[in-house]
């Protein structure tokens, strides 16, 4: 048999669909955990990344490693900071192609001990900030006729969280999912895609010592079909799929990466 006879059919390089060369991406909550990883992954695929959060020292250190990136200190619970983040991005780069709404807060507290102020604050950071940043970036994306927004939700939009009790967190992430669908519907005809990435348990500041705590590990093993927490590289592909042309026909979707937790 000749080489030509066994050569695979020729298609354009499918991996090229995941590239983000010359695109500008904002990643919120890039000072730690998933957001820091997301910024590195988008930069590795060619994007110029705007990293945003409150801890500017960490953002500066990260930006120093990512060619062409920009660090912006922003407290996303403050409307003026959200406006400044988008204004600075547009001033510096003249465009925004990808928005990863990753910043989020949550802590385990039974509802009897949660305060109204804590609940409202979680909604401000986890929901209002996403609404506001999407609105601000969406304006520029709609004008350009293209863009991709990735809202980091959680598998806990599909199932209850208790015994890890966090009503504020579940309420806020649930809101993110239906906001994602609604924005996808409003902007689909304008070339802007809006999706949610919904992780299971991954190591971060938010999940603390879950990866070493025996009780937490037993909980994860008992409930995840893949009986462990996710590894740090196991959201990379899902993020890129939603952010890039590879997911060009996906919108309004909540992509679960949860080791099968919610499929049971
Ligand atoms: P993390 O390490 O605690 O990261 C949270 C990020 O949000 C930090 O960079 C923090 O930066 C930023 N942030 C918090 N409040 C902010 C504010 N007011 N203004 C600006 N930035 C703020 O936790 P993570 O696990 O990586 O969380 C990232 C996202 O993934 C969250 O939306 C979380 O709900 C979601 N998620 C995580 C998991 C998991 O298992 N890890 C599972 C499902 C979903 P500063 O403190 O520097 O401001």
**Which candidate in 38, 169, 201, 261 is catalytic?**
169
Ligand 1 pocket, 147 CB below 6 A? no
Report CA-CA distances (Å) from 177 to 102, 121, 162, 165.
13, 19, 19, 20
pLDDT tens-digit profile, the chain (264 residues): 455 567 777 888 999 999 999 999 999 999 999 999 999 999 999 999 999 999 999 999 999 999 999 999 999 999 999 999 999 999 999 999 999 999 999 999 999 999 999 999 999 999 999 999 999 999 999 999 999 999 999 999 999 999 999 999 999 999 999 999 999 999 999 999 999 999 999 999 999 999 999 999 999 999 999 999 999 999 999 999 999 999 999 999 999 999 999 999
Domain ranges of the chain: 19-263
Contact 26, 99 (CB under 8 A): yes
* DSSP conformation class of 252: S
Ligand 1 pocket, 199 CB below 6 A? yes
Q: Report pTM.
A: 0.96
User: 207 C-alpha vs ligand 1 centroid, how far in Å?
Assistant: 10
Round the CA-based radius of gyration of the chain to a whole number and report it.
19
The pLDDT score that the predictor gives to residue 12 is 85
- Cα(69)–Cα(48) distance, rounded to whole angstroms? 5
Q: State how far Cα 24 lies from the chain centre.
A: 15
- Cα(152)–Cα(229) distance, rounded to whole angstroms? 17
What is the maximum span of the chain, computed from C-alpha positions, in angstroms? Answer: 73
Q: Which of 182, 44, 14, 32 is nearest to 105 (CA)?
A: 32
Class of domain 19-263: alpha beta
The pLDDT score that the predictor gives to residue 216 is 95
Ligand 1 pocket, 230 CB below 6 A? no
- Cα(261)–Cα(107) distance, rounded to whole angstroms? 20
**Residue 169 known to be catalytic:** yes
């Amino acid at each position: 048999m000749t080489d030509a006879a066994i050569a695979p059919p020729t298609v354009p390089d499918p991996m090229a669909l995941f590239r983000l060369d010359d695109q500008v991406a904002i990643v919120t909550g890039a000072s730690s955990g998933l957001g820091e990883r997301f910024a590195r992954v988008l930069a590795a695929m060619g994007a110029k990344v705007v990293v945003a959060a409150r801890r500017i020292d960490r953002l500066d250190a990260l930006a120093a490693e990512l060619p062409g990136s920009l660090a912006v200190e922003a407290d996303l619970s403050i409307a003026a900071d959200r406006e400044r983040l988008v204004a600075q991005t547009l001033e510096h780069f003249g465009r925004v192609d990808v928005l990863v709404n990753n910043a989020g807060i949550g802590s385990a507290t039974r509802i009897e001990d949660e305060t109204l102020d804590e609940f409202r604050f979680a909604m401000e950071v986890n929901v209002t900030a996403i609404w506001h940043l999407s609105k601000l970036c969406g304006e520029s994306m709609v004008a350009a006729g293209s863009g991709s927004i990735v809202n980091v939700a959680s598998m806990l939009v599909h199932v209850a969280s208790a015994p890890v009790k966090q009503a504020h967190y579940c309420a806020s992430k649930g809101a993110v999912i239906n906001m994602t669908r609604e924005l996808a519907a409003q902007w689909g005809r304008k070339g802007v895609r809006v999706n949610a990435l919904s992780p299971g348990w991954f190591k971060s500041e938010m999940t603390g010592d879950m990866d070493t705590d025996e009780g937490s590990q037993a909980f994860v093993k008992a409930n995840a079909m893949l009986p462990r927490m996710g590894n740090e590289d196991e959201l990379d592909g899902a993020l890129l799929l939603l952010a890039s042309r590879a997911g060009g026909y996906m919108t309004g979707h909540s992509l679960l990466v949860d080791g099968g937790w919610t499929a049971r």
